[in-house]
Each structure stands twice: as C-alpha cells, then as structure tokens.
A and B are shown apart, each in its own frame.
Chain A
C-alpha cells in the first residue's frame, strides 16, 4: 500500500467539499460539504501519520481534535441555521440578509 492513492482520495473528497460549499443553496447542505472537507483533512492526517510512524501518533491525535472541532462547528452551525430559519422561514444562504443600512 502506498501513500499517493490515499492522498488523491483525500484531495477528491476535499474538492467535492469545495464544490458543495460553492454550489449549494441550502445551509444544511453547505454544512455537510464542510464536513466532507474536514473529513478529507482527517484522511490526510492519518495517512501521513501512517507514513511517518511518529512516536507520539501526532497525526491521529490531531485527527481526533479535528473531529471534536467539527462536532462543535456542526453544533453551532446548525443552531444558527435553526435560528435564521425561525426568523426568516428559509434556510437558503442567498436569502440571508439580516441587516439593512
């Protein structure tokens, strides 16, 4: 087993995440795309860890951190979407316009 295919897979996931981020209107789906990107990062971390065989297992540790942060992000992100939805009755990103001058 070699490193490159894993990295390519991670790159693919990341790119798909970017695509989703740019192309989706629904806020929940945008959040999903972000999860994809974070997941790609995790794969990278673990793969490099597997390559380097670090004595502290740094890659895996950070993958765990990323998962934690991702959980936090999803929590707060969804809370916001919820709130906006409650006030605006829409979860579409391009209709968020809360402030007018």
Chain B
C-alpha cells in the first residue's frame, strides 16, 4: 500500500492529525519542566487517545477513558501536585541527569517495537471500522465470560482504596526512628 493510497482514505487523515497530537502532547508530558503543565499535557494525550478509540470503533472504552481518566485520575494528580507543593511553574530539577541513557534506551525500545509492528502487521487492514461495538456485547462479555477477573479487579480497587486511605492518613505515620539495625 503506497502512501498516496493511504492518504486517500479520510479516516487516515483524522488518525494522522490525532496521532500527531497525541504523540506531541505525550512528548511534552515527559519533557515539560512544569509539573502542572505535564499533567495537563497528559489530559491532552488521553483526550487524543479517546478520539483514537472512537476511530477504532470502541466508543464505550473511549467514554470510560474520558470519564475515569480525565475526570478522576487527572484530578487526583493535580491534587497530588498541589499537596506535595511541587513548584508550580518552571523547575529545571524535575529531570535527573541521566536523560541521555533514558533517551537512548527508550529510543531503542521504540525502534524495536515499531519495527516489530510494521514487520508483522505491516499491511493488516482493520475491518469493520465505524461499525461500533455494542455496549451490550461488552456488558455481556464482562459479566459473562470475564466476570471473575472483573470481580478481582473490583477487589483490587477496593484494596487500593483502603490502602490509599491507610497510607495517607495523617496518624498512620511510620515510627519516627529509623535506627533499625
């Protein structure tokens, strides 16, 4: 499939625009010198991802992503940032001094994974795009075939909730002395 063929499809244009946006904002998430900005860039990334999900006809997941992530998690993050009084604004010390290694490693990882993706699924067409997955199917699937993992996840969530409260409670501070042997 040539580039012109690919470009002749309108959804691909949409994907291109959204994908570049996602990639760009994701890049800013990990490079921004401002904690709040980083969090907001993550919002953009996630929003882009939601659009992508819509393109891939996964509406339900897309809305879950928007609601849970953008609605809850990011808010949590912002709270965390506020509470830890991370400097809101430019802060050069947000990165450590091993960015080079990190860049090389992640670059290599990226090359490897994209090579693998292209090599194995290079021209795999995506069928049925735009048809949409019925929420009913998802519901049946989750509460039918996957009910057990679902229950476990709910437990994990509960445990995380309780754990988070326990850990962050003010009076549950660890012993003052760390003189242990």
Direct contact of A and B (CB under 8 A): yes
Give the contacts of A45-88 with B (CB-CB under 8 A). Answer: 46-47, 49-51, 53, 56-58, 60-61, 63-65, 67-76, 78-83, 85-87
A interface size (C-beta, 8 A): 76
* Contact across chains for A35 and B58 when beta carbons are under 8 A apart: no
Q: Are A22 and B101 in contact (CB under 8 A)?
A: yes
In this complex, how many residues of chain B approach chain A with their Cβ under 8 Å: the count is 97
A16 with B30, Cβ < 8 A, contacts A25-B95, A61-B142, A85-B83 known = yes
From residue B32, how far is it (CB to closest CB) to chain A in Å? 9
Are B52 and A43 neighbours in the complex by a CB distance under 8 Å? yes
Contact B23 A22 (CB under 8 A): no
Is B90 part of the contact surface with A, judged by Cβ < 8 Å? no
**Most chain-B CB neighbours within 10 Å: which of A60, A76, A78?**
A60
Instruction: Say yes or no: A57 contacts B138, CB within 8 Å.
Output: yes
Tell me whether A15 and B77 are in contact (CB under 8 A).
no
* Closest beta carbon of chain A to B124's beta carbon, Å: 4
Distance in angstroms from A65 CB to nearest chain B CB is 5
Tell me whether B178 and A99 are in contact (CB under 8 A): yes
A68 to B68, CA, bound (A): 8
Contact present for B117 and A71 (CB under 8 Å):
no
Task: Report yes or no: B56 in contact with A50, Cβ–Cβ below 8 A.
Answer: yes
Interchain CB contact under 8 A, A50 and B42: no
Within 8 A of A (CB), among B132-161: 133, 137-138, 141-142, 145-146, 149-150, 153, 156-157, 159-161
Question: Across the interface, do B167 and A80 meet the contact criterion of CB distance under 8 Å?
Answer: yes
- CB contact between B117 and one of A4, A75, A81 (< 8 Å): that residue: A4
User: How far does the Cβ of A55 sit from chain B's closest Cβ, in whole Å?
Assistant: 8
Residues of A with C-beta under 8 A to B150: 65
- Among B19, B61, B107, B164: residue with most chain A CB under 10 A: B61
**In this complex, what residue of A is CB-closest to B83?**
A82
Q: Quick one: given A16-B106, A36-B29, are A8 and B160 in contact (CB under 8 Å)?
A: no
Q: Is B17 an interface residue (CB 8 A)?
A: no
**Residues 69 to 109 of chain B near chain A (Cβ within 8 Å):** 69, 72-73, 76-77, 79-81, 83-86, 93-96, 98-99, 101-103, 105-107, 109
| Most chain A C-beta atoms within 10 Å of own C-beta, residue among B1, B79, B85, B94 | B94
Query: Are A8 and B114 neighbours in the complex by a CB distance under 8 Å?
Result: yes
Q: Can you give 18 A-B contacts (C-beta < 8 A)?
A: A2-B123, A3-B117, A12-B23, A16-B29, A22-B102, A22-B106, A23-B95, A23-B103, A25-B96, A46-B58, A57-B133, A58-B141, A63-B58, A67-B61, A78-B76, A79-B164, A79-B168, A82-B168
